Structure 1
Amino acid sequence: MASREGFFVAAYALRGSSDLDAFSNGQLEDLLAWFRQNLKIPPRFNRTKSKNDRWRQAKGLSWFKPTARQHLDKAFELAELLTRHGVAIELLKAARIGYVIYEDDHQVVAEPFADLRC
């Protein structure tokens, strides 16, 4: 079974790939630069402040808010580029995303409820 990762992780992994042609590389760099300028990096991705590794392994998932239209448009552009280069992308939607860890105007990071399979 392949591991699942966020599409930003996949994008930065592809960035270092020698398989990217110059046009795709430029497109990828432009999209990543746009996100660096327009999306905050959440300070945390889990609820715990514990130093115990067992508890720190729980990771939140990042969700774009439906009102973040420009961010969603850029995310779909990035997903399409990744798909063109062999990265499997799965769109996740959920009404109940979990325990909210961080939120801003464009995104929410939440630690999934136990019954949420992502």
Structure 2
Amino acid sequence: MYVRFQSPSPNARGVHPGVFGLVNDLAKRDRLSPEEERFKTETHAWYHANLIDPSNVDPDIYNRERNPGATAWFKLTAGHLIDRVSGYLEILATHEVACVRVEMADPGNVIYEDAHQVIIVPYRTG
């Protein structure tokens, strides 16, 4: 079973941005308070220290042509990583940015896996 925190609506590319991307977008638009920016910076650093970046393993993992719609999902067993998402959700709620928790046993084709996460390409529909 896997879990992902994402926008309920797809973006222009048809992808549901994840919680980190949604907060990063607020930061790029200078909408974060100094406290929120500090939280983002410190917590991003914590994730980088405690979670493998799949792009370091395969630089093309998120290549749109090779892996269209590729997204990262936490394994439900990665509670220590999932728990820290709550601070990001608080930031999004403050800025009225919708974000939903999605749990699925089989969200798509797994193209990367480690102890805490998978990268999947969603199954094609239609």
> Are residues 1:95 and 2:112 paired?
no
Structure 2 residues without counterparts, runs of 5 or longer: 1-8
Contact 2:67-2:121 at 8 Å conserved across structures: no
In 1, the alpha carbon distance for the partners of 2:32 and 2:68 equals: 33
Taking a change above 3 Å as real, the CA distance of residues 58 and 19 of structure 1, as seen in their structure-2 partners, is closer
Aligned to 2:4: none
In 2, the alpha carbon distance for the partners of 1:11 and 1:33 equals: 14
Q: TM-score, with normalisation over the residues of structure 1?
A: 0.77
Structure with greater strand percent: 2
Q: Which has the larger radius of gyration?
A: 1
> Are residues 1:63 and 2:80 paired?
no
What's the offset of the Cα at 1:67? 0.7
Relative contact order higher in (CA < 8 Å, ≥ 6 apart):
2
Please provide the CA RMSD for this pair. Answer: 2.2
Contact 1:62-1:109 at 8 Å conserved across structures: yes
Aligned to 2:34: 22
Question: Between Structure 1 and Structure 2, how many residues are aligned?
Answer: 108
In 2, the alpha carbon distance for the partners of 1:18 and 1:66 equals: 32
Query: Which amino acid in structure 2 is aligned with residue 102 of structure 1?
Result: Y
Taking a change above 3 Å as real, the CA distance of residues 11 and 104 of structure 1, as seen in their structure-2 partners, is same
Q: Give the fraction of aligned pairs with identical amino acids, expressed as a percent.
A: 31
Structure 1 residues without counterparts, runs of 5 or longer: 47-52
1:49-60 map, 5 Å: 55-56=65-66, 58-60=68-70
Q: TM-score, with normalisation over the residues of structure 2?
A: 0.72
